[in-house]
């Protein structure tokens, strides 16, 4: 800046920066340390508080302020390492399940079931409030343990990966599901109906004592379709979204539903909360399972168009908000009919028919297991990809937020009609005071609140004081 004499008085500013970059509000009487550009003007206030380089980047990418640069925010090494541990743990756990199936002894889910059963015996009462307290403790305790493990491994990616792999292996059940279905199909192919009836309780709670070959095949296909969501897609989805707490929490909810979520006389009221929690936890995964069934049907020799048509038409006819989605898509893909009369715990249910093909046969069980395996593989790929991309997804979100601010978001709102303009209109930063000042605007004049003796000039901005008003 340059200074030039004006009418023999001391110099005044010939050109001053705009109000948003000045060191203070010249006409306000406030010092530069109070209402300066670092607080209320757009470059200072917005950049230091709301822009991506300062606020968003430090929260979403872990990289801290970027000093207002225009480069894309990048995730920190720690965030990338934890994401790799998360994705690698899911993949390793699924590989363990594919190779080994469920543990034969000391299964963590079986241990949880025994502990939950003991708690249920102590807290049982034939009302919903008792069931709600039971579910809160039975789900809350393992989830709290999983949260503590997640926090304890924030700086130990390898430990996080190992815990995720072990937990994923424990909560997945796709391999055991397909093995049990194949065993039952083998018994039916051999004409051994009693042996097939003995295997059915390993898959579902249906009474097999009166079921013939066709009914056993139908029950098995329905169980494979529904449990593809419950035992594969849902735990992978919750694990991809929420890590260890998601894996543990979902499996706890699903186990409680299997224990007390049915309409027997003992659990009609007590198990209501557990059943509703399971319905809520499976709303998304069941529909994702149906969509994946349509997507992979052609790869397994099934009919994708039939799967889509029957899913959209019949998926909502089932009394369960979730099971019907998976069963309808499977029925359409295989070209068979599912649903009808079923007996559970001595109680008969007449369910709507799903699909418009022929009745199920023993050979359809193998087709259903192939379809289930393909759906599980697709769900695993999506879960691993989602977990691995988390830091980059958050960095992209940070960039989008930064661009939004730069192109007309918060910065423009503040500049056009927000705090800076309200302060300006109110007289704290009168733009007229920032022009080339006349002779009357020297020290102590209306545009300079500080008089030569250090006192504040309290005359109104814009008013030229008379000789009598100067003291």
Residue range 140-157, pLDDT digits in tens: 999 999 999 999 999 999
Asked if residue 22 has pLDDT above 90, the reply is no
In this structure, the strands spanning 347-350 and 341-344 are: antiparallel
Closest Cα partner for 294 from 221, 365, 181, 374? 374
121 and 196 housed in the same domain: yes
The CB-based long-range contact list for 305-308 (8 Å cut-off, 24+ gap) reads 306/332, 306/333, 306/335, 306/357, 307/332, 307/333, 308/332
Mean pLDDT is lowest, of 51-55, 299-303, 339-343, 454-458, for: 51-55
Q: What is the Cα–Cα distance from 396 to 72, expressed in whole angstroms?
A: 8
Q: What is the Cα–Cα distance from 100 to 105, expressed in whole angstroms?
A: 12
Asked if residue 47 has pLDDT above 70, the reply is no
Rounded to the nearest 10°, the torsion over CA 47, 53, 59, 63 is: -150
Mean pLDDT is lowest, of 113-117, 335-339, 396-400, for: 396-400
At 345 the pLDDT is 64
* % of the chain exceeding 70 in pLDDT: 70
Q: Which tokens sit at 36?
A: 């300066």
Q: What is the Cα–Cα distance from 300 to 361, expressed in whole angstroms?
A: 18
In this structure, the strands spanning 3-6 and 9-13 are: antiparallel
Q: How much is the pTM?
A: 0.72
- Residue 71 located in a structural domain: no
Q: What is the Cα–Cα distance from 13 to 338, expressed in whole angstroms?
A: 87
144: Cβ contacts below 8 Å, ≥ 6 apart: none
- Residue 202 located in a structural domain: yes
Q: How many domains does the chain fold into? A: 2
Cα separation values, 279 from 150, 247, 254, 263, 365, Å: 26, 16, 9, 14, 26
261 and 333 housed in the same domain: yes
- Residue 240 located in a structural domain: yes
375 and 465 housed in the same domain: no
- Residue 410 located in a structural domain: no
Mean pLDDT is lowest, of 33-47, 177-191, 214-228, 449-463, for: 33-47
| Mean pLDDT score across all residues of the chain | 79
Domain that holds residue 215: 101-388
344 and 466 housed in the same domain: no
Decide if 255 contacts 234 (C-beta within 8 A): no
379 and 438 housed in the same domain: no
């Amino acid at each position: 800046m340059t200074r030039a004499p004006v009418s023999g008085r001391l110099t005044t500013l010939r050109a001053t920066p705009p109000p948003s970059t000045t060191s203070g509000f010249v006409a306000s009487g406030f010092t530069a340390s109070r209402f300066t550009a670092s607080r209320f003007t757009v470059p200072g206030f917005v950049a230091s508080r709301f822009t991506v380089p300062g606020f968003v980047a430090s929260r979403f990418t872990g990289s801290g302020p970027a000093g207002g640069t225009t480069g894309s925010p990048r995730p920190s090494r720690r965030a990338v390492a934890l994401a790799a541990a998360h994705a690698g743990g899911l993949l390793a756990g699924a590989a363990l399940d594919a190779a080994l199936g469920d543990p034969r002894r000391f299964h963590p889910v079986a241990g949880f079931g025994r502990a939950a059963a003991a708690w249920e015996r102590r807290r049982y009462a034939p009302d919903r409030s008792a069931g709600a307290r039971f579910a809160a403790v039975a789900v809350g305790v393992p989830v709290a343990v999983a949260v503590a493990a997640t926090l304890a491994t924030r700086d130990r990616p390898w430990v996080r990966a190992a815990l995720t792999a072990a937990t994923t292996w424990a909560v997945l059940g796709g391999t055991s599901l397909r093995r049990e279905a194949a065993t039952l199909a083998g018994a039916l192919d051999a004409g051994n109906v009693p042996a097939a009836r003995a295997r059915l309780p390993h898959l579902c709670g249906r009474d097999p004592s009166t079921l013939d070959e066709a009914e056993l095949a139908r029950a098995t296909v329905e169980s494979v379709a529904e449990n593809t969501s419950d035992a594969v897609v849902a735990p992978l989805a919750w694990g991809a979204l929420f890590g260890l707490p998601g894996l543990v929490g979902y499996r706890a909810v699903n186990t409680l539903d299997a224990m007390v979520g049915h309409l027997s006389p003992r659990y009609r009221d007590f198990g209501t909360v557990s059943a509703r929690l399971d319905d809520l936890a499976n709303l998304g995964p069941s529909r994702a399972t149906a969509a994946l069934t349509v997507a992979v049907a052609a790869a397994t020799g099934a009919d994708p168009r039939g799967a889509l048509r029957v899913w959209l038409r019949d998926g909502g006819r089932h009394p369960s908000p979730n099971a019907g989605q998976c069963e309808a898509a499977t029925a359409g893909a295989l070209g068979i009919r599912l649903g009808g009369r079923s007996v559970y715990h001595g109680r008969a249910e007449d369910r709507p028919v799903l699909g418009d093909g022929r009745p199920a046969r023993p050979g359809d069980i193998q087709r259903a297991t192939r379809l289930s395996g393909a759906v599980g593989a697709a769900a695993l790929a999506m879960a691993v990809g989602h977990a691995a991309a988390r830091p980059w997804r958050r960095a992209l979100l940070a960039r989008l937020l930064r661009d939004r601010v730069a192109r007309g978001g918060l910065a423009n709102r503040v500049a056009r009609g927000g705090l800076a303009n309200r302060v300006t209109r109110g007289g704290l930063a009168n733009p007229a005071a920032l022009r080339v000042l006349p002779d009357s605007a020297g020290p102590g004049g209306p545009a300079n609140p500080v008089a030569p003796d250090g006192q504040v000039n309290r005359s109104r901005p814009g008013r030229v004081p008379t000789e009598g008003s100067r003291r």
